């Protein structure tokens, strides 16, 4: 690039012109115009840059004075551009602060804090109570097969007790798509109770065993105020060398008093379950009428809250234990029913609904 020579006087006038005009050109410049002016003056082909390149052609005697002036002009131009950039930045910050200003005197926004579902609240309380009795939690799968869910619990295929469970069978792969759904050939089902976990616990743990087994179960039920196709259970299992029905009775009585209060009345009645022998039903005095008789307890004054019994020898064998050496007792309750009794809820369907007006009433489980 050829640099046109200039006399010292012409170069001085050009530098002074840049010095006096830069402030006028910066007046009112926004960020884009400021950058354009910077390039116009200080860029590789900028006006001031080209003037500085002409210093070499100035007479040697005048070069120092002209060079000093050129440096002063360059510093002033750079300082003026930097000052305007700072003003623009400060203005942007002030506008942003004004836009994002928070009124500290304004009322705050209410943040809703969630809490446990009432069924989960009761389950947590049951866990705490039974933990004090030395029980630990043992969980199993919700999808089982026929052996674990029935046969291992002393319920063979031709056993009449099968009619007690309305089972949901998993479809054989491809049968549903073919329009001919049929139960899976490997016997896969949705578990109808948490009792299969008893077998898993006995096969996993070494006696003495003292566990509770909470979980979700499924049955082919018509949904109404007291039934659902999906529900929760909590079972307990104790296996040792010297367990007895008296131990079971004493433990359940203390459990009922811990859950419902010291004045809770209890009783045992004969019952039937294929996986326990003998079997009993465990009742408490009606929580609605206090035992005088009402519609909730069908005028009997009692409410059944769980079934229990001594573990059947066949179940112990299927769990890998010798019934001549070990005995055990087990019990199981419907967690949903316990929740209904605890809070005086009349319709099971409310627990499975999504109505926040209902579930927000039970905030103690947060």
Both 204 and 267 in one domain: the answer is yes
User: 347 CB contacts (<8 Å, ≥6 apart)?
Assistant: 225
The dihedral built from the CA positions of residue 203, 205, 207 and 211, taken in this order, carries a sign that is negative
pLDDT at 268: 93
pLDDT at 346: 79
Phi-psi region of 128 (alpha: psi -120 to 50; beta: other; left: phi over 0): alpha
Q: Which domain holds residue 64?
A: 8-99
Both 94 and 227 in one domain: the answer is no
Both 256 and 152 in one domain: the answer is yes
Both 220 and 328 in one domain: the answer is yes
Residues across the chain = 366
Both 93 and 172 in one domain: the answer is no
**Mean pLDDT within 292-305:** 82
pLDDT above 90 (res 55): no
pLDDT above 60 (res 325): yes
| DSSP string over 167-195 | -EEPBPTTTTTTT---B-TT-EEE-SSST
**Residue 218 placed within a domain:** yes
Point out the domain boundary residue: 34, 66, 99.
99
- Containing 211, the helix (H) or strand (E) segment is strand 209-218
Beta bridge partners of 279: 271, 309
Of residues 242 and 298, more confidence is placed in 242
Return the biggest CA–CA distance within the chain.
Answer: 126
pLDDT above 70 (res 355): yes
* Tokens coding 38: 């910077």
Point out the domain boundary residue: 41, 64, 99.
99
Q: How many structural domains is the chain composed of?
A: 2
Both 192 and 82 in one domain: the answer is no
Distance CA 274, CA 279 (A): 9
Q: Are 147 and 155 in contact (CB under 8 A)?
A: no
**Residue 295 placed within a domain:** yes
Both 126 and 88 in one domain: the answer is no
pLDDT at 218: 94
Both 189 and 338 in one domain: the answer is yes
Rounded mean pLDDT of the chain? 84
Of residues 328 and 56, more confidence is placed in 328
Distance CA 16, CA 63 (A): 16
**Residue 112 placed within a domain:** no
**Residue 108 placed within a domain:** no
Both 153 and 71 in one domain: the answer is no
Alpha-helical regions (H) of 100-182: 118-132, 146-149
pLDDT band with cut points at 50, 70 and 90 for residue 365: low
Point out the domain boundary residue: 69, 99, 129.
99
Q: What is the CATH number of the domain that holds 156?
A: 3.30.930.10
pLDDT above 70 (res 6): no
> 106 burial class (0-12, 13-18, 19+ CB within 10 angstroms)?
exposed
pLDDT band with cut points at 50, 70 and 90 for residue 289: confident
Phi-psi region of 177 (alpha: psi -120 to 50; beta: other; left: phi over 0): alpha
Per-residue CA distances from 212 to 201, 232, 237 (Å): 10, 13, 6
**Residue 1 placed within a domain:** no
Q: Which of 81, 93, 95 is nearest to 29 (CA)?
A: 81
Both 57 and 170 in one domain: the answer is no
Q: Which of 268, 305, 270, 272 is nearest to 286 (CA)?
A: 305
Both 40 and 152 in one domain: the answer is no
pLDDT tens readout for residues 205-224: 999 999 999 999 999 888 88
Distance CA 244, CA 330 (A): 11
Both 207 and 137 in one domain: the answer is yes
**Residue 339 placed within a domain:** yes
Q: Within 10 Å of residue 103's Cβ, how many Cβ atoms?
A: 6
**Residue 106 placed within a domain:** no
**Mean pLDDT within 15-28:** 74
**Residue 111 placed within a domain:** no
- Containing 204, the helix (H) or strand (E) segment is helix 196-204
Q: Which of 208, 271, 262, 267 is nearest to 239 (CA)?
A: 208
């Amino acid at each position: 690039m050829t640099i046109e020579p200039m006399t010292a006087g012409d170069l001085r006038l050009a530098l002074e012109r840049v010095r006096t005009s830069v402030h006028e050109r910066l007046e009112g410049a926004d960020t884009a115009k400021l950058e354009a002016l910077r390039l116009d003056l200080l860029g590789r082909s900028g006006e001031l840059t080209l003037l500085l390149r002409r210093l070499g052609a100035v007479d040697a005697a005048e070069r120092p004075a002209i060079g000093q002036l050129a440096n002063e002009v360059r510093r002033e131009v750079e300082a003026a551009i930097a000052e305007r950039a700072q003003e623009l930045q400060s203005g942007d910050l002030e506008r942003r602060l004004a836009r994002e200003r928070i009124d500290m005197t304004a009322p705050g926004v209410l943040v809703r804090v969630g809490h446990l579902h009432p069924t989960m609240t009761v389950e947590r309380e049951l866990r705490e109570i039974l933990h004090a009795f030395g029980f630990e939690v043992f969980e199993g799968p919700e999808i089982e097969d026929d052996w674990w869910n029935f046969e291992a619990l002393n319920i063979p295929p031709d056993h009449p007790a099968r009619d007690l469970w309305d089972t949901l069978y998993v479809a054989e792969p491809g049968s549903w798509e073919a329009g001919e759904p049929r139960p899976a050939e490997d016997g896969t089902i949705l578990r109808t109770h948490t009792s299969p976990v008893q077998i898993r616990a006995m096969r996993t743990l070494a006696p003495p065993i003292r566990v509770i087994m909470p979980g979700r179960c499924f049955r082919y039920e018509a949904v109404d105020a007291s039934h659902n196709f999906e529900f929760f259970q909590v079972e307990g299992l104790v296996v040792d060398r010297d367990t007895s029905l008296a131990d079971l009775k004493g433990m359940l009585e203390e459990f009922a008093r811990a859950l419902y209060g010291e004045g809770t009345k209890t009783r045992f009645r004969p019952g039937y379950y294929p996986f326990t022998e003998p079997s009993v039903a465990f009742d408490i005095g009606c929580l609605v009428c206090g035992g005088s008789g009402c519609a909730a307890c069908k005028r009997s004054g009692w409410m059944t809250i769980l079934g229990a019994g001594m573990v059947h020898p066949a179940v112990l064998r299927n769990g890998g234990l010798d019934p001549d050496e070990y005995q055990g007792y087990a019990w199981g309750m419907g967690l949903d029913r316990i929740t209904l009794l605890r809070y005086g809820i009349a319709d099971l369907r409310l627990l499975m609904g999504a109505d926040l007006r209902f579930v927000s009433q039970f905030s103690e489980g947060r």
